[in-house]
A and B are shown apart, each in its own frame.
Chain A
């Protein structure tokens, strides 16, 4: 029987007049991992920060109990004095946060950032601390650890920085490790490595772990027990295998069903002539970049060729830096290509000028990733959607434009009264629908979706993807679907092109690629995707 390291009972957090966390209780068992999952606004971060005494929001009131068990007796963390908390933080509880880019002090060496914990809690000398720091960097599999001691954070990649964060968190051998969305900002392959790393370290260091994430797939890979949060309350708490095999609460079921997963069926096959709509040959794009120390060139896209048939979806997959968004930029005129050809139904896409160019813009539309910055915050929704109608003179009068706007809002499943609202009055999912409505205003031949659902909550994403699939079947739309999430790509695409470092790695029909990938990189990507089944079941 494992005792619990941390026992939280009836935890509540109130800021001003709002209750953010409303009576949550959970236990973290020794050497086990508790996964806390919830969408944005569920209060998952705030719950854990309040439970560990690290909450620093002005005016927050925390009630309830959070007991840290130990040899020297239990410690109450809620309402504890600053001195007690200081001895616990770093000494008995280690923290890993989401963004490795900003979580490390840019002016201090890695060694210093690890040794300062050791000096504060273990009273070690610099020499002793240095030895320990080296051990830690080796334990987290950082290549060339001896040399890295003297490095600075900006010299490491995101994944490496996160390893260092883990090393720092484990420096003083804490009983509990809190990981708040630690892999959300990382690539799929790096995420898989970090998940494996934490699992191994947990075993070696005998640490309990609390892993917070919005991604059920990740939680399934890492957790022994799961607590599901919705709007500040724990709606379901069970062992991971139970949650996945027989979820009790409707919200849990909704989260499970909303996840796109590898192995699920793709989009409906398209009947019809299968004529090629977009043909791209040898697309080449380079960017000059200027840093403080000089200029250099980034070769973002290297001789890429592909084609899309009318009414189908080509899924363009790649991790960050693969060049996939640059392709979208080249096709819509935001980025000037250095070579290659592209034709839309025979019309040249890359070389047009003047009035022809403007005419072409009607035929290719782009939907961006971030719902919060894709719409002008100072313009009403109706005006934003009407802009392409205005620019291309597609409606003869203001009334006609407004009528068309109403049609478009209806098409994307939004009430027509939204036309008079401002973007900040809408949710993320609603804003993305507005972006889609705007993109469809000119009845384009090709719709490019650049990570259009990546910033949305899982359940919201599912609904937007359904909308896109419906629109494709009803209107025979052609999509270029750009994403890094393979499961989503499989759900949406007829054909898939995998990109890496600007080049095509694999380009085949979706069914074939997902069933039997030919390239190692594709295999790695697929293997790294958290599966439907939890780790404990496999």
Chain B
């Protein structure tokens, strides 16, 4: 009899693979849904009959649809995502080059978000209905309504252009230039983190509210436990379980959504890569980037599920 956690995870992995297959179909279909001829569009002004034929057969677009899909599937699974229409570089290599920048931005963003959202959401949830709760609620509403690119531009205008404390754009890799990395990641990290904090605060608050009204919190109070114990051992610990799930989703959303922030800060990450690829109609690159981001998303969700299984005894011991 296999362990419940193993069975739980196996189901989740299977489910993710099914979704992944769907993702692959969609990504593959991207190129073929383009009205007109993708190769011709990509070549644009550089069109010559020879270049056309060359690019077409190099991309395999001259073979039947099903064959194309199968071979795409095959090469994708072995890590070969084709070559860029624009400069012929292998897509996989380009993606991997740009991945660290986006990942570090995403992680810094989510850490900033958690550092703000956890205390604020818990604080506000425990003081429901009071003025301090209202302040937190209104602030998080503000944070959710702000366009992130606007926030970025304003931050640059204030801290970089006017005050000159921080650089206006660019990226330094962590392991080569730690202080440079830090200086360059502050503003974009804040831009991403503040908006994510607003979103997370609302979820943390509602999780705390929901837990605070349960029967077992009433039982805890009826035992005469000190309020700090009731809060930490009963309310917060139980509220963290759904918060864990939301944080994972939020991180995954950030990874896919930093496109605009990366453009504002000229950040050499996946987001900016996708943007440039879309502008240039570089379909293999678009496909590869979309696929990678979707895969990261599914992977993060799986990790969250695994943590969930470890934390919640109802899954661990069925």
Q: Is A273 on the interface with B (CB-CB < 8 A)?
A: no
A293 adjacent to B225 (CB under 8 Å): no
Stretch at the interface among A94-102, A427-435, A522-530: A94-102
Stretch at the interface among B229-237, B256-264, B269-277: B229-237
Contacts of B317 in A (CB 8 A): 152, 155
Q: Is B45 on the interface with A (CB-CB < 8 A)?
A: no
Q: Is A149 on the interface with B (CB-CB < 8 A)?
A: no
Stretch at the interface among A29-37, A81-89, A467-475: A81-89
Q: Is A117 on the interface with B (CB-CB < 8 A)?
A: yes
Contacts of B315 in A (CB 8 A): 292-293
B215 adjacent to A99 (CB under 8 Å): yes
Given A87-B224, A107-B312, 10 extra CB contacts under 8 A: A56-B221, A86-B224, A89-B222, A90-B223, A95-B219, A105-B219, A106-B313, A117-B223, A293-B7, A293-B8
Contacts of A155 in B (CB 8 A): 317
List residues of B whose CB falls within 8 A of some A CB.
Answer: 4, 7-8, 11, 129, 214-216, 218-227, 229, 233-234, 237-238, 241, 311-315, 317-318
Say whether, besides A102-B214, A102-B215, A293-B315, A90 and B129 are in contact (CB < 8 Å): no
List residues of A whose CB falls within 8 A of some B CB.
Answer: 54, 56, 58, 82, 85-91, 95, 97, 99, 101-108, 116-117, 120-121, 152, 154-155, 165, 168, 291-294
Picked from B223, B237, B238, the residue with its CB within 8 Å of the CB of A120 is B223
Say whether, besides A105-B234, A152-B317, A155-B317, A116 and B223 are in contact (CB < 8 Å): yes
Quick one: closest B residue to A109, CB to CB? B313
B222 adjacent to A116 (CB under 8 Å): no
Contacts of A152 in B (CB 8 A): 313-314, 317
Docked pose: A112 CA to B227 CA in angstroms = 17
B219 adjacent to A104 (CB under 8 Å): yes
Docked pose: A291 CA to B111 CA in angstroms = 33
Docked pose: A164 CA to B315 CA in angstroms = 22
Say whether, besides A95-B219, A103-B215, A293-B318, A86 and B226 are in contact (CB < 8 Å): yes
Docked pose: A120 CA to B11 CA in angstroms = 42
Contacts of B241 in A (CB 8 A): 107
Contacts of A82 in B (CB 8 A): 227
Picked from A89, A104, A294, the residue with its CB within 8 Å of the CB of B216 is A104
Contacts of A104 in B (CB 8 A): 216, 219
Contacts of A294 in B (CB 8 A): 7, 11
Contacts of A95 in B (CB 8 A): 219, 222
B224 adjacent to A291 (CB under 8 Å): no
Picked from A56, A106, A108, A120, the residue with its CB within 8 Å of the CB of B224 is A120
Docked pose: A449 CA to B214 CA in angstroms = 33
Say whether, besides A56-B221, A89-B224, A154 and B215 are in contact (CB < 8 Å): no
Docked pose: A86 CA to B221 CA in angstroms = 8
Say whether, besides A85-B224, A86-B224, A90-B224, A107 and B313 are in contact (CB < 8 Å): yes
A97 adjacent to B219 (CB under 8 Å): yes
A103 adjacent to B219 (CB under 8 Å): yes
A91 adjacent to B224 (CB under 8 Å): yes
A88 adjacent to B214 (CB under 8 Å): no
Quick one: closest B residue to A116, CB to CB? B225
Contacts of A102 in B (CB 8 A): 214-216
B221 adjacent to A89 (CB under 8 Å): yes
Quick one: closest B residue to A101, CB to CB? B215
Contacts of B8 in A (CB 8 A): 292-293
Say whether, besides A58-B129, A291-B318, A294-B11, A108 and B221 are in contact (CB < 8 Å): no
Docked pose: A54 CA to B221 CA in angstroms = 8
Docked pose: A210 CA to B237 CA in angstroms = 32
> Which 8 pairs of residues, A with B, have the shortest CB-CB distance?
A89-B224, A102-B215, A90-B224, A90-B223, A95-B222, A103-B215, A105-B216, A152-B313
Q: Can you list 20 A-B pairs with a CB-CB distance of less than 8 A?
A: A85-B224, A86-B226, A90-B222, A97-B215, A97-B218, A102-B216, A103-B219, A105-B219, A105-B234, A106-B312, A106-B313, A106-B314, A107-B312, A108-B233, A152-B314, A152-B317, A165-B219, A168-B223, A292-B318, A293-B7
Say whether, besides A104-B219, A116-B233, A291-B318, A90 and B313 are in contact (CB < 8 Å): no
Contacts of A101 in B (CB 8 A): 215
Contacts of A99 in B (CB 8 A): 215
Docked pose: A82 CA to B230 CA in angstroms = 14
Docked pose: A263 CA to B196 CA in angstroms = 67
A120 adjacent to B313 (CB under 8 Å): no
Contacts of A121 in B (CB 8 A): 224
A90 adjacent to B225 (CB under 8 Å): yes
Say whether, besides A106-B314, A293-B318, A120 and B216 are in contact (CB < 8 Å): no
Residue with the highest number of chain A CB atoms closer than 10 Å, among B214, B221, B226? B221
- Smallest beta-carbon distance B55→chain A, Å: 49
Contacts of A165 in B (CB 8 A): 219
- Smallest beta-carbon distance A169→chain B, Å: 8
- Smallest beta-carbon distance A35→chain B, Å: 20
Quick one: closest A residue to B305, CB to CB? A292
Contacts of B237 in A (CB 8 A): 107
A105 adjacent to B238 (CB under 8 Å): yes
A120 adjacent to B314 (CB under 8 Å): no
B4 adjacent to A89 (CB under 8 Å): no
Quick one: closest A residue to B128, CB to CB? A58
- Smallest beta-carbon distance A470→chain B, Å: 41
Docked pose: A101 CA to B215 CA in angstroms = 9
Quick one: closest A residue to B309, CB to CB? A292
A120 adjacent to B129 (CB under 8 Å): no
Docked pose: A174 CA to B225 CA in angstroms = 15
Docked pose: A293 CA to B220 CA in angstroms = 30
- Smallest beta-carbon distance A4→chain B, Å: 21
B238 adjacent to A107 (CB under 8 Å): yes
Docked pose: A357 CA to B129 CA in angstroms = 54
- Smallest beta-carbon distance B280→chain A, Å: 45
Docked pose: A116 CA to B222 CA in angstroms = 12
Picked from B220, B223, B238, the residue with its CB within 8 Å of the CB of A106 is B238
B220 adjacent to A105 (CB under 8 Å): yes
Contacts of B129 in A (CB 8 A): 58
